[in-house]
Amino acid sequence: GDSVTQMEGPVTLSEEACLTINCTYTATGYPSLFWYVQYPGEGLQLLLKATKADDKGSNKGFEATYRKETTSFHLEKGSVQVSDSAVYFCALSEGAGANSKLTFGKGITLSVRP
Amino acid sequence: EAGVAQSPRYKIIEKRQSVAFWCNPISGHATLYWYQQILGQGPKLLIQFQNNGVVDDSQLPKDRFSAERLKGVDSTLKIQPAKLEDSAVYLCASSSSGARKNNEQFFGPGTRLTVL
Protein backbone atom coordinates (compact mmCIF):
# COMPACT_ATOMS: atom_id res chain seq x y z
CA GLY A 1 0.00 0.00 0.00
CA ASP A 2 0.87 3.67 -0.15
CA SER A 3 3.17 5.07 2.51
CA VAL A 4 5.06 8.24 3.40
CA THR A 5 8.31 8.36 5.36
CA GLN A 6 9.55 11.53 7.00
CA MET A 7 12.89 12.17 8.64
CA GLU A 8 13.00 11.83 12.41
CA GLY A 9 12.58 14.91 14.52
CA PRO A 10 12.30 17.22 16.28
CA VAL A 11 14.28 19.90 14.49
CA THR A 12 15.49 23.05 16.24
CA LEU A 13 16.96 25.91 14.24
CA SER A 14 17.99 29.48 14.81
CA GLU A 15 16.13 32.23 13.00
CA GLU A 16 17.34 32.76 9.41
CA ALA A 17 18.84 29.27 9.18
CA CYS A 18 18.19 27.04 6.16
CA LEU A 19 15.65 24.27 6.47
CA THR A 20 15.34 20.92 4.73
CA ILE A 21 12.80 18.32 5.86
CA ASN A 22 13.10 15.01 4.01
CA CYS A 23 10.11 13.08 2.72
CA THR A 24 10.02 9.93 0.60
CA TYR A 25 7.03 7.98 -0.55
CA THR A 26 5.87 4.61 -1.85
CA ALA A 27 2.88 4.49 -4.18
CA THR A 28 1.49 2.14 -6.80
CA GLY A 29 0.45 4.84 -9.25
CA TYR A 30 1.15 8.52 -9.84
CA PRO A 31 0.20 10.31 -6.64
CA SER A 32 -0.12 13.97 -5.86
CA LEU A 33 2.15 15.13 -3.05
CA PHE A 34 1.43 17.59 -0.27
CA TRP A 35 2.96 19.34 2.68
CA TYR A 36 0.57 20.23 5.50
CA VAL A 37 1.42 22.42 8.49
CA GLN A 38 -0.14 22.42 11.94
CA TYR A 39 0.52 25.53 14.00
CA PRO A 40 0.10 25.27 17.79
CA GLY A 41 -3.57 25.04 18.72
CA GLU A 42 -4.76 25.08 15.11
CA GLY A 43 -5.94 22.57 12.53
CA LEU A 44 -3.98 21.20 9.61
CA GLN A 45 -3.46 23.63 6.74
CA LEU A 46 -2.27 22.89 3.24
CA LEU A 47 1.15 24.50 2.77
CA LEU A 48 1.94 23.44 -0.79
CA LYS A 49 1.35 20.68 -3.28
CA ALA A 50 2.61 19.17 -6.54
CA THR A 51 0.55 16.97 -8.80
CA LYS A 52 3.07 15.53 -11.25
CA ALA A 53 6.76 14.76 -11.63
CA ASP A 54 9.12 17.75 -11.67
CA ASP A 55 6.39 20.10 -10.42
CA LYS A 56 7.54 22.55 -7.76
CA GLY A 57 5.10 23.62 -5.09
CA SER A 58 5.77 26.86 -3.23
CA ASN A 59 4.13 29.00 -0.57
CA LYS A 60 5.27 31.36 2.21
CA GLY A 61 8.92 30.93 1.17
CA PHE A 62 8.72 27.13 1.36
CA GLU A 63 9.39 24.97 -1.70
CA ALA A 64 9.26 21.29 -2.56
CA THR A 65 9.94 19.55 -5.87
CA TYR A 66 8.24 16.29 -6.92
CA ARG A 67 11.13 13.93 -7.74
CA LYS A 68 9.78 10.74 -9.29
CA GLU A 69 13.21 9.19 -9.82
CA THR A 70 14.02 9.35 -6.11
CA THR A 71 10.35 9.19 -4.92
CA SER A 72 10.98 12.25 -2.79
CA PHE A 73 9.30 15.56 -1.94
CA HIS A 74 11.69 17.36 0.41
CA LEU A 75 10.54 20.62 1.99
CA GLU A 76 13.01 23.54 1.90
CA LYS A 77 13.16 27.12 3.07
CA GLY A 78 16.13 29.41 2.77
CA SER A 79 15.58 31.46 5.92
CA VAL A 80 13.22 30.30 8.67
CA GLN A 81 11.37 32.58 11.07
CA VAL A 82 10.12 32.04 14.60
CA SER A 83 6.59 32.02 13.16
CA ASP A 84 7.46 28.88 11.16
CA SER A 85 7.52 26.84 14.38
CA ALA A 86 4.94 24.13 13.80
CA VAL A 87 4.45 20.46 12.96
CA TYR A 88 4.95 19.61 9.28
CA PHE A 89 3.34 16.61 7.59
CA CYS A 90 4.17 15.16 4.20
CA ALA A 91 1.26 13.39 2.50
CA LEU A 92 0.25 11.77 -0.76
CA SER A 93 -3.05 11.19 -2.49
CA GLU A 94 -4.03 8.90 -5.31
CA GLY A 95 -7.32 8.85 -7.16
CA ALA A 96 -9.60 11.64 -8.24
CA GLY A 97 -12.59 13.44 -6.84
CA ALA A 98 -14.47 11.48 -4.24
CA ASN A 99 -12.01 8.60 -4.47
CA SER A 100 -8.99 10.56 -3.36
CA LYS A 101 -7.70 10.10 0.17
CA LEU A 102 -4.62 11.34 1.97
CA THR A 103 -1.88 9.14 3.41
CA PHE A 104 0.26 11.06 5.91
CA GLY A 105 3.76 10.70 7.26
CA LYS A 106 4.38 10.87 11.01
CA GLY A 107 5.09 14.58 11.02
CA ILE A 108 8.06 16.50 12.31
CA THR A 109 8.15 19.30 14.85
CA LEU A 110 10.12 22.39 13.89
CA SER A 111 11.13 24.88 16.55
CA VAL A 112 12.79 28.12 15.50
CA ARG A 113 14.53 30.12 18.21
CA PRO A 114 15.14 33.89 17.97
CA GLU B 1 -16.24 31.55 4.12
CA ALA B 2 -16.62 29.59 7.34
CA GLY B 3 -14.24 26.70 7.84
CA VAL B 4 -14.86 23.19 9.08
CA ALA B 5 -16.42 23.27 12.54
CA GLN B 6 -15.94 20.57 15.16
CA SER B 7 -17.19 20.11 18.69
CA PRO B 8 -16.33 19.57 21.39
CA ARG B 9 -12.70 20.69 21.26
CA TYR B 10 -11.74 18.56 24.25
CA LYS B 11 -13.28 15.52 25.91
CA ILE B 12 -12.15 13.40 28.83
CA ILE B 13 -13.93 10.11 29.55
CA GLU B 14 -13.27 6.88 31.36
CA LYS B 15 -12.73 3.63 29.50
CA ARG B 16 -15.89 1.76 28.55
CA GLN B 17 -17.87 5.01 28.35
CA SER B 18 -19.27 6.28 25.07
CA VAL B 19 -18.51 9.55 23.33
CA ALA B 20 -19.66 11.40 20.22
CA PHE B 21 -18.02 14.04 18.07
CA TRP B 22 -19.72 16.43 15.69
CA CYS B 23 -18.49 17.96 12.45
CA ASN B 24 -19.99 20.58 10.16
CA PRO B 25 -18.12 20.79 6.85
CA ILE B 26 -17.65 23.80 4.63
CA SER B 27 -20.91 24.67 2.92
CA GLY B 28 -21.32 22.87 -0.37
CA HIS B 29 -18.57 20.31 0.23
CA ALA B 30 -19.87 16.90 -0.70
CA THR B 31 -16.97 14.85 0.65
CA LEU B 32 -16.35 14.52 4.37
CA TYR B 33 -13.52 12.68 6.13
CA TRP B 34 -12.83 11.60 9.70
CA TYR B 35 -9.20 11.05 10.69
CA GLN B 36 -7.62 9.76 13.90
CA GLN B 37 -4.32 11.36 14.92
CA ILE B 38 -2.52 9.56 17.72
CA LEU B 39 0.20 11.54 19.47
CA GLY B 40 3.44 11.41 17.50
CA GLN B 41 1.82 10.03 14.36
CA GLY B 42 0.23 11.41 11.23
CA PRO B 43 -3.53 11.43 10.76
CA LYS B 44 -5.07 8.12 9.71
CA LEU B 45 -8.29 8.01 7.70
CA LEU B 46 -11.16 6.35 9.54
CA ILE B 47 -14.06 6.96 7.18
CA GLN B 48 -14.91 8.95 4.06
CA PHE B 49 -18.40 10.05 3.00
CA GLN B 50 -19.59 11.27 -0.36
CA ASN B 51 -22.82 13.13 0.40
CA ASN B 52 -24.58 10.71 2.78
CA GLY B 53 -22.95 7.53 1.45
CA VAL B 54 -19.82 5.80 2.73
CA VAL B 55 -16.95 5.69 0.22
CA ASP B 56 -14.28 4.10 2.41
CA ASP B 57 -14.52 2.77 5.96
CA SER B 58 -11.86 0.08 5.70
CA GLN B 59 -9.84 1.51 8.61
CA LEU B 60 -12.81 2.08 10.94
CA PRO B 61 -12.90 -0.32 13.95
CA LYS B 62 -16.54 -1.18 13.40
CA ASP B 63 -16.92 -3.11 16.63
CA ARG B 64 -16.74 0.16 18.57
CA PHE B 65 -16.71 3.07 16.11
CA SER B 66 -19.65 4.30 14.06
CA ALA B 67 -20.25 7.37 11.94
CA GLU B 68 -23.16 8.83 10.08
CA ARG B 69 -23.95 11.70 7.77
CA LEU B 70 -27.69 11.31 7.42
CA LYS B 71 -28.54 14.46 5.48
CA GLY B 72 -25.29 14.73 3.61
CA VAL B 73 -24.15 17.78 5.56
CA ASP B 74 -22.95 17.46 9.15
CA SER B 75 -21.63 14.22 10.59
CA THR B 76 -21.18 12.49 13.92
CA LEU B 77 -18.52 9.99 14.93
CA LYS B 78 -19.25 7.77 17.93
CA ILE B 79 -17.10 5.48 20.03
CA GLN B 80 -18.83 2.91 22.23
CA PRO B 81 -17.24 1.63 24.39
CA ALA B 82 -14.02 3.63 24.48
CA LYS B 83 -10.63 2.06 25.13
CA LEU B 84 -7.43 3.63 26.41
CA GLU B 85 -5.87 3.38 22.95
CA ASP B 86 -8.62 5.60 21.51
CA SER B 87 -6.96 8.62 23.10
CA ALA B 88 -6.17 10.81 20.11
CA VAL B 89 -7.19 13.91 18.20
CA TYR B 90 -10.12 13.28 15.87
CA LEU B 91 -9.97 15.46 12.80
CA CYS B 92 -12.76 16.20 10.38
CA ALA B 93 -12.03 17.41 6.87
CA SER B 94 -14.11 18.25 3.84
CA SER B 95 -13.55 18.79 0.14
CA SER B 96 -15.63 19.65 -2.89
CA SER B 97 -16.43 16.77 -5.20
CA GLY B 98 -15.88 16.61 -8.90
CA ALA B 99 -13.60 15.08 -11.44
CA ARG B 100 -10.62 17.31 -10.69
CA LYS B 101 -7.80 15.26 -9.30
CA ASN B 102 -7.07 15.54 -5.60
CA ASN B 103 -9.38 18.30 -4.50
CA GLU B 104 -7.91 20.07 -1.47
CA GLN B 105 -9.10 18.86 1.90
CA PHE B 106 -9.85 21.51 4.52
CA PHE B 107 -9.43 20.46 8.13
CA GLY B 108 -11.24 21.43 11.28
CA PRO B 109 -9.44 22.16 14.58
CA GLY B 110 -10.01 18.63 15.86
CA THR B 111 -11.39 17.11 19.05
CA ARG B 112 -8.82 15.95 21.56
CA LEU B 113 -10.08 12.81 23.34
CA THR B 114 -8.47 11.51 26.51
CA VAL B 115 -9.59 8.10 27.77
CA LEU B 116 -8.68 7.39 31.41
Q: Does B40 contact A43 at a Cβ distance shorter than 8 Å?
A: no
pLDDT in tens, B63-73: 999 999 988 89
Report the gap between the CA of A106 and the closest CA in chain B (Å).
4
One DSSP character per residue, B36-72 reads: EE-TTS--EEEEEEETTEEEE-TTS-TTTEEEE-TTS
Lowest mean pLDDT among B17-26, B35-44, B75-84, B96-105: B96-105
pLDDT digits (tens, 9 = 90+) for A49-106: 999 999 999 999 999 999 999 999 999 999 999 999 999 999 998 866 556 788 999 9
Of B41, B44, B104, the CB nearest to A46: B104
Question: Which of A1, A24, A17, A37 minimizes the C-alpha distance to A79?
Answer: A17
**SS3 label, residue A98:** helix
Q: Residue B97 and residue A99: Cβ atoms within 8 Å?
A: no
Q: B66 with A60: CB under 8 angstroms?
A: no
* Selected residue with higher pLDDT from B105 and A56: A56
Kindly report, residue by residue over A6-26, the tens digit of the pLDDT.
Answer: 988 899 999 999 999 999 999
Residues across chain B: 116
Max intra-chain CA distance, chain B: 44
pLDDT exceeds 60 at position B99: no
β-bridge pairing B75-79 and B19-24:
antiparallel
How large is the average pLDDT for residues A100-113?
Answer: 92
> What was the pLDDT predicted at A99?
61
Taking the C-alpha atoms of residue B19 and residue B16, their distance in angstroms, rounded to an integer, is 10
